[in-house]
Amino acid sequence: MHYKFMHYKFMQYKLKKTSAGMTLLEVMVALLISGIFLSTALYFLVGQWRTAKELRERLELQYAVVSAGKTVSDAIRTARALRWVEPGVLRVQPPESVVTPDQYYLDDKDFDGIIDLYWDHLNVPNPVASRISAWECREVEPGLWKIRLQASQGSQRVEWEGLIRQRAYVVPAT
């Protein structure tokens, strides 16, 4: 019985000694392991953020060229007369009886350092799409126009091409 009592006292002493707290070395090891996990998680988080940012920029460029292409295509399709004037100006005579023709051209009218595609209607400039860096319209054959648009931002570049047939207008007899 004396043996069991001594063993019991020894175990109480051992538990009391070990449950006093963590040593400085144990705290530093725990902090080191936590730091490694956090730095790895941060590395992956920053990588995902950069990928999402590049994807967003690319999608914005694609949207810009597609919407600009649709706008210019609709103008060509419904125009009475078209003329590509160098450098980079498309003059469109709209179907309505307007004296001044519409114009499509690249410029930085808002002075933000970004080239935009503009549409002048009745000599009032309207932005069509931003970040359009180059564009070209040429008549491939009578009534068939080829449009090429390019948008760029940083190292990203997106292009759009389309063939559009101009509708033939017949002047109604009066």
Could you tell me if residue 126 is inside a domain?
Answer: yes
User: Band of the pLDDT at 4, cuts 50, 70, 90?
Assistant: low
Q: Is the pLDDT of residue 20 over 80?
A: no
Specify if 2 maps to a domain. no
**If you count them, how many residues does the chain have?**
174
Beta strands in the chain (DSSP E): 81-85, 89-93, 102-107, 116-121, 124-130, 132-141, 144-153, 156-165
pLDDT in tens, 105-148: 999 998 998 999 999 988 899 999 999 999 999 999 988 999 99
148 in a structural domain: yes
Give the residue among 130, 129, 147 at the shortest CA–CA distance from 138: 147
Q: Does 99 fall in a domain?
A: yes
Q: Are 147 and 69 in contact (CB under 8 A)?
A: yes
Query: According to the model, what pLDDT value does residue 14 have?
Result: 61
Q: Give 62-97 pLDDT, tens digit per residue.
A: 999 999 999 999 999 988 888 898 788 999 988 776
74 found inside a domain: yes
Range of the domain at 122: 47-165
Does a structural domain hold residue 52? yes
The predicted structure's pLDDT at residue 12: 67
Residue-level pLDDT at 2 = 58
pLDDT at 85: 87
Q: What is the DSSP letter of 169?
A: P
pLDDT of residue 81: 86
pLDDT at 65 (0 to 100): 95
Is there a domain that residue 37 lies in?
Answer: no
Residue 36 has pLDDT above 70, yes or no: yes
| Chain centroid, CA 42 distance in Å | 24
pLDDT at residue 13, as a whole number: 63
Overall domain count for the chain = 1
Inform me whether the pLDDT recorded for 61 exceeds 80: yes
Q: What is the pLDDT of residues 148-171, one digit of tens each?
A: 999 998 888 999 999 999 887 555
